[in-house]
């Protein structure tokens, strides 16, 4: 009770549900006092100590959600929320690097643990080790660099002048190399810095695997895209826009969204925000957001379906906040959102199923499900990644991966390569997508990621697309996928994903390991290439 | 960035406003690393260290708001939120009692501080001392007792059988006496336990003051209520209910509310929740909630106006989260809400001002502002405190104060007095309000407060009403109060309150001290008695 501010305190004590807010304080002491804790072993103590900072991370997710969805958007509010997050980040850092954690890690008798606990122990030790290997001064430098680099990036983008961003970007690359080598410590496995950065986002996926996979994808897609775009049978996209002079009202778009999210099995909060995202405060309280355009209905729907894939994964993870119950990797997470967005939400039976709702809610002149299916799957070359379609998107990822890998693991001075980024970028865009970039803004300044030191992040956008296609191949072995979608039996799909992916959390060391165990083979780009080839040959009537 | 969970991380880095979420991490290090902090003196270090747990308390307020207003209301969610709050409560407790704080408090050269800093230092030292005087085991017992007592109370109330609550209530009284004496420590000023409990809610207001004041109020109100209720000119309340067979739609009630809140100067979020409350995450982000009944429009409006008084106080406090910038006391806080609810929102010019909006939004057969003013000010004896009107409410408070004081400071065994609570209660209800209590549910089991160990809380409900009436007396010296309301110049009222009350935060040691300094006299119940007498004699045509 003490913790609640005066005003909320009384309200709290007036509400039945305050049982939980009382329970809080009682759990509090259990969670913070060793003397009172009933822990029977160092491992259990370690898990319980570790869960504290996991719970705090869930709280920071709530603050983030609130600031994007509910908080009045004033500078003052963002400033204050920043200070609050700073205070929380501070204690999370303390908790995550506390000597108490170190002692408990030391004290655990690993051999006595069962398999899952061994894995969980390994994960906790790794997180602890890596966090403690970064001196606070470096963490501070990194935070301040992300901040200034972000501002430099916005300035450079607004004036479409990369040279204004180059110095900050050079620092970002150098700083992230420093951090990666600190994390590697003695680096017994002698892995490269880019390997380490990849590992942060795509656990256990080494650089050489990604290179092989991406090269094969590139080889197949470049000619396929030419073929597709040369086809005289391109589908019309007219059904995506409202009848002349009218718009798609937000209310009817969101009621269509609600109906579809509901059918897919998402039961949490769904709100509107500037950028769609999903966040989880626990498997029972996962929330997603959508946004709608008055002049194009598919992007809003696609965003919601995409987020529902993330949300179902989070909802089906084991509840207790310990590393083994966390999502395996960014690629696995995105494979779930892409599976729902593309393999469900871009499929023909999906539009057959929801045609009545779409035409009714959007008040469209009656299009057939085939026409709508064609429209939402139409392909065009775009210089902007976030506007790219399923077929051309991979090349945007390959371009970025190639450039960042070259800067991180290459032998040339970082600054020298960074200064030539615009040339590299435009050259690759021409080579891969046959697009002439007119300025840096539509070229190498379009993404925020690098200013946030998020190197090794881009590849997960393609890893996930490949994994999603491979999952469609496997799910078709277990059910009549088209019929299931046509009949709206989406719980069958969720159950399958839960069984094959969700329930594992972070038990496996990598996406490859999990696929190996579940399906007898690791990630294989051929499924993806076949899927894209068959799909677009059909839609573009190539044979 | 590290702190954000994978999903929100990328979204974060895609948003301009993430400047703040980057800033976070950079402030984080400033807030947590002494080496990096630019603190020039122990005092500044103390303030900055102290502000961390204040920021964390703002976060717990956000979690509370979310759980009441936004979170899907499932047991699982309340359970998980409880665990999250527990983790946060744990770190708040650690921060609030850290040896680092103790060292800094020791190190400060108090004589070198200016007045305000001296006060702030005293407040921080007191908070620290009292928190550290409570052993963790006791804090845990207290939390668990509130929890079990709350459950015992609900059971007892449901079966209207006080004996089922008596044992738990006895423990609550005993536990709170233990805690109060622990906080008193050596108790040099030799103040009573009830004095100490009062001090927790109404800083610096001793038991003997409250006894004098409440006795005078009781003496004046008992006969006044008889007179009023004997009057043949009781106002009609028919305008409060919808025309037969219809209701007041939520939408029209809330648009009326929004208009009025807006006019009063409240600019924050306003949502709907089971119980109206106000919470503040910073002066720039204060949020209130309302609730509406389809069959009676005034309660909903009154609730919102009440909360707006709390909200304006919070909005006008100095922003940095340090004790001197906190609300002075519960009584001062409630004086603000009651001032707006009663002295503005129950006044005749208020209904003259908003008559068009009320009749339009509520689609009422046209009543005059005088009729509506009469209806919302009608008086009747009620056994239930929360349903009581302005005139009879004080006697409900006096009854509770008398009983809890007797148990805390009396010489009789706690258990013995507790067992006779129903008799005491019913006797007082008869004596003060001439009401025969038919069972414990409508009598001594109606309030949750005691199960939460909130002894010393009830008196603030009357202290605040007296303060509000006294403030009306003073504000009338500085402006034509009726005209200001009639012309909707509510910013003049807010400015006045800001100048006289809000801006002071916790600079003064008590409500008495603040009134003394601002108005030349301390709290004086005679203003309140005169206000009630004149008001109700007029409305009930007593002369």
Residue B11: band (very low, low, confident or very high) from pLDDT cuts 50, 70, 90:
very low
Nearest Cα residue in chain B from A80? B282
Residues 6 or more apart in contact with residue B43 via CB below 8 angstroms: B108, B109, B113, B117, B121
Instruction: Count A/B contacts: CB-CB distance under 8 Å.
Output: 355
Residue A243: band (very low, low, confident or very high) from pLDDT cuts 50, 70, 90:
confident
Residues 6 or more apart in contact with residue B328 via CB below 8 angstroms: B203, B504, B505, B506, B508, B510, B511, B514
The Cα–Cα gap between A71 and B55 comes to: 16
Percent of chain A with pLDDT over 70: 93
Chain B residues whose CB is inside 8 A of the A147 CB are 19, 22-23, 26
Range name among A131-145, A370-384, B10-24, B464-478 with the lowest pLDDT average: B10-24
B132 lies in a domain? yes
Which has more pLDDT, A81 or B28? A81
Question: Does B263 score more than 60 pLDDT?
Answer: yes
B181 lies in a domain? yes
Q: Give the length of chain A.
A: 543
Question: Does A4 score more than 90 pLDDT?
Answer: no
- Mean pLDDT across the stretch B210-236? 97
- CB distance A23–B139 less than 8 Å? no
- Mean pLDDT across the stretch A195-209? 96
pLDDT at B31: 30
User: DSSP label at A271?
Assistant: E
Query: What are the tens digits of pLDDT across the range B19-53?
Result: 233 233 333 332 333 333 333 489 999 999 999 98
- What is the phi/psi pair of residue B270, to 5°? -135, 120
- CB distance A70–B269 less than 8 Å? yes
Residue B394 near residue B217, CB atoms below 8 Å: yes
Q: Which two tokens stand for residue B273?
A: 């929740």
Q: Which two tokens stand for residue A371?
A: 């026409």
- pTM for the model stands at 0.89
Question: Does A32 score more than 60 pLDDT?
Answer: no
Q: Chain B contact for A24, CB < 8 A?
A: yes
pLDDT at B7: 34
What H or E segment, with its residue span, contains residue A99? helix A99-107
The Cα–Cα gap between A373 and A376 comes to: 5
Chain A residues whose CB is inside 8 A of the B64 CB are 4, 8, 12, 21
Query: What are the tens digits of pLDDT across the range B86-143?
Result: 899 999 999 999 999 999 999 999 999 999 999 999 999 999 999 999 998 898 899 8
Question: Does B304 score more than 70 pLDDT?
Answer: yes
B94 lies in a domain? yes
**Closest chain B C-alpha to A511 CA, distance in angstroms:** 16
The Cα–Cα gap between B273 and B294 comes to: 15
- Mean pLDDT across the stretch B150-157? 94
The Cα–Cα gap between B177 and B171 comes to: 10
- CB distance A277–B327 less than 8 Å? no
- Mean pLDDT across the stretch B447-474? 97
**Closest chain B C-alpha to A202 CA, distance in angstroms:** 11
Question: Does B288 score more than 90 pLDDT?
Answer: yes
pLDDT at B14: 32
Question: Does A61 score more than 80 pLDDT?
Answer: yes
Nearest Cα residue in chain B from A20? B82
Angle at B528 between CA B523 and CA B531, to 5 degrees: 145
Chain A residues whose CB is inside 8 A of the B51 CB are 87
Nearest CA among A5, A15, A82, A65 for reference residue B278: A5
pLDDT at B53: 87
A107 lies in a domain? yes
User: DSSP label at A339?
Assistant: I
To the nearest whole number, what is the mean pLDDT of chain A?
A: 91
B281 lies in a domain? no
Nearest CA among A2, A10, A44, A8 for reference residue A26: A2
pLDDT at B181: 94
B185 lies in a domain? yes
pLDDT at B29: 30
Nearest CA among A429, A405, A435, A434 for reference residue A417: A405
Q: What HEC string does B7-45 produce?
A: HHHHHHHCCCCHHHHHHHHHHHHHHHCCCCCCCCCHHHH
pLDDT at B140: 86
- Report the residue of A12, A15, A24, A66 to disrupt the B interface, i.e. the one with the largest count of B CBs within 10 Å: A24
The Cα–Cα gap between A392 and A377 comes to: 12
Nearest-by-Cβ selection for A15 from B90, B146, B274: B274
* B341-400 residues touching A, CB cutoff 8 A: none
Question: Does A18 score more than 90 pLDDT?
Answer: no
**Closest chain B C-alpha to A2 CA, distance in angstroms:** 9
User: DSSP label at B344?
Assistant: I
Question: Does A50 score more than 80 pLDDT?
Answer: yes
User: DSSP label at B341?
Assistant: I
Question: Does A411 score more than 50 pLDDT?
Answer: yes
Domains in chain B: how many in total?
A: 1
**Exposure of B73 by Cβ count < 10 A (0-12 exposed, 13-18 middle, 19+ buried)?**
exposed
Name the 3-class secondary structure at B290: strand
* A52-91 residues touching B, CB cutoff 8 A: 52, 55-68, 70-74, 76-91
Q: What HEC string does B431-494 produce?
A: HHHCCCCCCCCCCCCCCCHHHHCCCCCCHHHHHHHHHHHHHHHHHHHHCCHHHHHHCCCHHHHH
Which value, to the nearest 10 degrees, does the dihedral of the CA atoms of residues A105, A110, A114, A118 take?
60
Nearest-by-Cβ selection for B80 from A81, A282, A449: A282
- Mean pLDDT across the stretch A343-359? 97
**Closest chain A C-alpha to B74 CA, distance in angstroms:** 9
- CB distance B277–A7 less than 8 Å? yes
pLDDT at B366: 83
**Closest chain B C-alpha to A12 CA, distance in angstroms:** 8
How many angstroms separate the most distant Cα atoms in chain B? Answer: 76
- CB distance A11–B275 less than 8 Å? yes
Nearest CA among B276, B278, B279 for reference residue B302: B276
**Closest chain A C-alpha to B141 CA, distance in angstroms:** 8
Highest mean pLDDT out of A89-93, B411-415, B511-515: B511-515
Chain B residues whose CB is inside 8 A of the A90 CB are 28-29, 31-32, 52
Nearest Cα residue in chain A from B87? A52
Q: How many CB atoms lie within 10 A of CB A6?
A: 16
B499 lies in a domain? no
The Cα–Cα gap between B388 and B458 comes to: 14
Q: Which two tokens stand for residue B372?
A: 């509506």
Distance of CA B68 to the CA centre of its chain: 17
Residue B16: band (very low, low, confident or very high) from pLDDT cuts 50, 70, 90:
very low
Chain A residues whose CB is inside 8 A of the B86 CB are 23-28, 30-31, 55
ipTM for the complex shown: 0.87
Nearest-by-Cβ selection for B61 from A8, A70, A285: A8
The Cα–Cα gap between B383 and A55 comes to: 44
Chain B residues whose CB is inside 8 A of the A95 CB are 91
**Exposure of B279 by Cβ count < 10 A (0-12 exposed, 13-18 middle, 19+ buried)?**
buried
The Cα–Cα gap between A69 and B15 comes to: 13
Catalytic residue chosen out of the listed positions B307, B390, B428, B525: B307
b/e sequence A397-429, b meaning 16+ C-beta within 10 Å:
bbbbbbbbbbbbeeeeebbebbbbbbebbbebb
- Report the residue of A9, A15, A27, A334 to disrupt the B interface, i.e. the one with the largest count of B CBs within 10 Å: A27
Distance of CA B499 to the CA centre of its chain: 21
Q: Chain B contact for A312, CB < 8 A?
A: no
- Report the residue of A1, A13, A278 to disrupt the B interface, i.e. the one with the largest count of B CBs within 10 Å: A13
Query: What are the tens digits of pLDDT across the range B234-262?
Result: 999 999 999 889 999 999 999 999 999 99
- CB distance B8–A137 less than 8 Å? no
Query: What are the tens digits of pLDDT across the range B222-231?
Result: 999 999 999 9
- Mean pLDDT across the stretch A83-110? 93
Name the 3-class secondary structure at A348: helix
Question: Does B3 score more than 80 pLDDT?
Answer: no
Range name among A351-355, A530-534, B4-8 with the lowest pLDDT average: B4-8
Q: Where are the alpha helices (DSSP H) in A410-524?
A: 414-419, 421-433, 460-478, 481-486, 490-500, 511-519
Taking each helix axis from N to C end, the angle separating B193-201 and B459-478, rounded to the nearest 10 degrees, works out to: 50
**Closest chain B C-alpha to A47 CA, distance in angstroms:** 13
**Tokens 């200001």 -> residue:** B484
- CB distance A29–B143 less than 8 Å? yes
Residue A346 near residue A539, CB atoms below 8 Å: no
**Closest chain A C-alpha to B386 CA, distance in angstroms:** 11
The Cα–Cα gap between B309 and B290 comes to: 13
Residue A453 near residue A200, CB atoms below 8 Å: no
pLDDT at A117: 96
Percent of chain B with pLDDT over 90: 87
Question: Does B364 score more than 70 pLDDT?
Answer: yes
Name the 3-class secondary structure at B108: coil
- Supply the range of the domain harboring residue B157: 25-191
Residue A502: band (very low, low, confident or very high) from pLDDT cuts 50, 70, 90:
very high
Q: Chain A contact for B21, CB < 8 A?
A: yes
CA A325 vs CA A340, A504, A507, B2, B506: distances in Å: 22, 8, 8, 18, 46
Query: What are the tens digits of pLDDT across the range B466-514?
Result: 999 999 999 999 999 999 999 999 999 999 999 999 999 999 999 999 9
Catalytic residue chosen out of the listed positions A45, A307, A314, A404: A307
- What is the phi/psi pair of residue A417, to 5°? -65, -45
**Closest chain A C-alpha to B8 CA, distance in angstroms:** 6
- CB distance A21–B64 less than 8 Å? yes
- CB distance B24–A82 less than 8 Å? yes
What is the C-alpha end-to-end distance of chain B, expressed in Å? 71
Residues 6 or more apart in contact with residue B85 via CB below 8 angstroms: A3, A20, A21, A24, A28, B60, B63, B64
pLDDT at B320: 87
Nearest-by-Cβ selection for B66 from A66, A92, A143: A66
b/e sequence B103-129, b meaning 16+ C-beta within 10 Å:
ebbeebeeeebeeebbbbbbbbbebbe
Q: Chain A contact for B24, CB < 8 A?
A: yes
Question: Does A30 score more than 60 pLDDT?
Answer: no
CA B380 vs CA B230, B362, B377: distances in Å: 11, 25, 10
- Mean pLDDT across the stretch A363-379? 93
The Cα–Cα gap between A101 and A103 comes to: 5
- CB distance B279–A8 less than 8 Å? yes
Q: Chain B contact for A517, CB < 8 A?
A: no
The Cα–Cα gap between A320 and A215 comes to: 40
- CB distance A23–B73 less than 8 Å? no
The Cα–Cα gap between A9 and B57 comes to: 12
pLDDT at B244: 86
Say whether A307 is catalytic.
Answer: yes
pLDDT at B160: 97
**Tokens 């019309």 -> residue:** A236
Residue A265 near residue A280, CB atoms below 8 Å: no
The Cα–Cα gap between B129 and B318 comes to: 24
- CB distance A63–B61 less than 8 Å? no
A297 lies in a domain? no
Range name among A11-15, A75-79, A265-269 with the lowest pLDDT average: A11-15
pLDDT at B185: 87
Query: What are the tens digits of pLDDT across the range B338-360?
Result: 999 999 999 999 999 999 999 99
* A85-144 residues touching B, CB cutoff 8 A: 85-95, 136-137, 139-140, 142-144
Chain A residues whose CB is inside 8 A of the B137 CB are 29, 33, 35-36
pLDDT at B1: 23
pLDDT at B120: 97
- Mean pLDDT across the stretch B280-302? 96
């Amino acid at each position: 009770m003490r913790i609640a501010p005066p005003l909320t305190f009384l309200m709290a004590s007036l509400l039945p549900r305050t049982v939980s807010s009382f329970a809080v304080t009682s759990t509090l002491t259990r969670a913070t006092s060793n003397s009172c804790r009933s822990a029977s072993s160092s491992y259990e103590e370690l898990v319980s100590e570790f869960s504290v900072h996991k719970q705090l991370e869930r709280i920071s997710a709530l603050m983030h959600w609130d600031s994007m969805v509910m908080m009045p958007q004033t500078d003052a509010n963002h400033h204050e929320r920043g200070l609050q997050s700073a205070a929380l980040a501070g204690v999370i850092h303390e908790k995550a690097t506390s000597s108490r954690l170190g002692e408990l890690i030391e004290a655990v008798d690993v051999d006595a643990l069962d398999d899952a606990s061994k894995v969980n122990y390994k994960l906790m030790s790794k997180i602890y080790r890596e966090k403690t290997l970064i001196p606070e001064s470096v963490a501070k430098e990194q935070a301040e660099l992300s901040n200034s680099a972000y501002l430099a990036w916005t300035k450079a983008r607004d004036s479409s002048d990369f040279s204004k961003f180059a110095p900050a970007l050079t620092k970002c690359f150098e700083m992230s190399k420093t951090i990666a080598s600190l994390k590697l410590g003695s680096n017994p496995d002698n892995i490269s810095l880019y390997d380490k950065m990849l590992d942060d986002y795509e656990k256990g996926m080494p650089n050489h695997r990604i290179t092989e996979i991406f090269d094969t994808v590139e080889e197949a897609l470049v000619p396929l895209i030419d073929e597709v775009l040369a086809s005289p049978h391109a589908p019309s996209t007219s059904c995506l826009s409202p009848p002349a002079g009218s718009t798609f009202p937000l209310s009817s778009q969101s009621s269509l969204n609600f109906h579809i999210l509901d059918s897919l099995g998402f039961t949490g909060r769904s709100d509107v925000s500037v950028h769609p995202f999903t966040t989880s405060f626990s498997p029972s309280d996962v929330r997603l957001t959508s946004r709608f355009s008055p002049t194009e209905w598919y992007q809003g729907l696609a965003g919601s379906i995409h987020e529902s894939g993330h949300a179902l994964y989070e909802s089906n993870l084991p509840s207790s906040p310990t590393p083994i119950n966390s999502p395996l990797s960014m690629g696995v997470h995105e494979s779930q959102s892409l599976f729902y967005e593309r393999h469900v939400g871009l499929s023909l039976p999906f539009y057959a199923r929801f045609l009545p709702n779409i035409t009714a809610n959007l008040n469209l002149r009656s299009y057939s499900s085939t026409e709508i299916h064609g429209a939402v799957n139409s392909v065009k070359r775009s210089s902007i990644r976030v506007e790219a379609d399923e077929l051309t998107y991979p090349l945007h990822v390959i371009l970025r991966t190639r450039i960042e890998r070259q800067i991180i693991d290459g032998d040339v001075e970082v600054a020298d390569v960074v200064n030539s980024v615009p040339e590299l970028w435009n050259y690759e865009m021409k080579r891969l997508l046959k697009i002439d970039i007119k300025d840096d803004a539509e070229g190498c300044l379009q993404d925020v990621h690098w200013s946030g030191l998020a190197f090794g992040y881009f590849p997960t956008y393609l890893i996930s697309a490949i994994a999603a296609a491979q999952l469609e191949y496997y799910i078709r072995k277990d059910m009549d996928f088209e019929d299931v979608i046509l009949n709206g039996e989406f719980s069958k799909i969720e159950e399958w994903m839960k069984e094959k992916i969700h329930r594992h959390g972070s038990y496996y060391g990598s996406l490859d390991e999990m696929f190996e165990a579940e399906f007898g083979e690791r990630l294989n780009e051929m499924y993806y290439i076949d899927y894209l080839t068959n799909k677009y040959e059909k839609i573009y009537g190539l044979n």
